[in-house]
Amino acid sequence: MKSFTSSHTSKLKTLPPSIFTIMSKLATAHNAINISQGFPDFDTDPILVELVAKAMRAGHNQYPPMAGIYTLREAICEKIELLYGARYHPKYEVTVTSGATEAIYSSISAFVSPGEEVIVIKPAYDCYEPAILANGGIPVFIQLNNKDFKMDWLDFKSKITPKTRMVIINSPHNPSGTVFSREDMLQLNDALKDTDILLLSDEAYEHIVFDGLSHQSIARYPELVSRSIICASFGKTFHITGWKMGYCVAPKALMQEIQKIHEFNVFSVNHPMQRALAEYLKNTNNYLGLNEFFQHKRDFFLEAINSSRFLYTPSQGTYFQLLDYSQISEEADVDLAKRLTIEHGLASIPISVFNENGIDNKLLRICFAKKDETLKRALDILVNL
Ligand code: GLN
């Protein structure tokens, strides 16, 4: 039989494994506290689990409709209208997906053709680039500065070319924890207004914003809505990352194209979970309390980290906090993250892997979606470095 080598067969030759896989594996191997990959170590609401069990007992165990069950699509549209004002039609403009990641992949795959450019803001969450490359697109990077991670909108405009097909934004931003302001959104609108560029907005952390700031969803900006796909995550909102449940919304003409990819990739996603989420979303308290819940964890963490040698700017959103270790070590961030896992029993995420050309600004990302006792154990290690 002919033997295939990866250099013959690989479409994604230069793609390294995800840092989340690497660090979580290392954490398990060394029995380390895992504040690397972003997932809670506490359980979801038992009421939500019970709703899934109820749906299973009621026989909702076969394929749901391709786009998701109608009551869940309705609940999603109602939530968006309530919070941000935009009205999406549940019949044509929503798809329930296998996590925000599938929504992002399906959206990129639906619209990006070989040779087309996609603007990506660095540091960037690691699922955008592989999706662009797998579809023959060309990622064009904008590197944010490592101090306040503010967007330079002139720099942004300079990256737009006749080949630009799509722009990907992500606020609240993983990994920096910064959020776009209203002014950022107006600048974005200004940059795109005379173009037919599509906008993909990764809003996975929409319900985790601190210090009284408000999430600037695309759905607040009617001019942007018409060119945009919003991708969102139930995993992040309801502490159920393992259920792989998310959704996207977009105007009908765009959604039709996304569904062509979704339908022939996954067809549809978990039916009983959809039944449960449709029910659970009815109570707005189930997601509106999240800001306060996570702000408490962020503040608890930062209060204690003040007595360490780490420097930081408080995260404005997401459940991540960046820590600057330049006063502690000169090691490369990847080396330090691995050494901390192996020698100190604490796994974190090095930021250079998300930067253009792997720029290393001596930053580690920690996830504070953890029980207070886990955070305490992690802090015991961090304050003694
Ligand atoms: N979103 C999670 C994070 O940023 C990771 C998800 C994954 O492992 N792909 O940590």
User: What is the CA angle 271-62-241, rounded to 5?
Assistant: 30
Question: Which of 314, 250, 244 has the alpha carbon at shortest distance from 80?
Answer: 250
Spans in the chain with pLDDT lower than 70: 1, 6-7
CB-ligand 1 contact for 312 (6 Å cutoff): no
pLDDT of res. 4: 74
Question: Do 262 and 106 touch, CB atoms closer than 8 A?
Answer: yes
pTM, rounded to two decimals: 0.97
pLDDT of res. 1: 67
Of the residues 15, 19, 26, 39, which should be mutated to test ligand 1's pocket, given the most ligand atoms within 8 Å of the CB?
Answer: 39
Residue 242 in tokens? 């393992």
Cα(300) to centroid(ligand 1), Å: 23
Alpha-carbon radius of gyration of the chain: 21
CB-ligand 1 contact for 20 (6 Å cutoff): yes
What atom of ligand 1 comes closest to residue 20's alpha carbon? 8
> In 144-287, at which residue ranges do the beta strands (DSSP E only) sit?
164-170, 198-202, 228-233, 246-249
Of the residues 19, 20, 319, which should be mutated to test ligand 1's pocket, given the most ligand atoms within 8 Å of the CB?
Answer: 20
Q: pLDDT tens, 107-137?
A: 999 999 999 999 999 999 999 999 999 999 9
Which residues are CB-contacts of 377 (< 8 A; sequence separation ≥ 6)?
A: 33
Burial (0-12, 13-18, 19+ Cβ within 10 Å), 104: buried
- 122, HSE (Cβ side, Cα atoms, 13 Å): 19
Buried b (16+ CB within 10 A) or exposed e, 194-206: eeebbbbbbbbbb
pLDDT of res. 54: 98
CB-ligand 1 contact for 38 (6 Å cutoff): yes
Question: Which of 211, 181, 219, 175 has the alpha carbon at shortest distance from 319?
Answer: 175
pLDDT of res. 7: 67
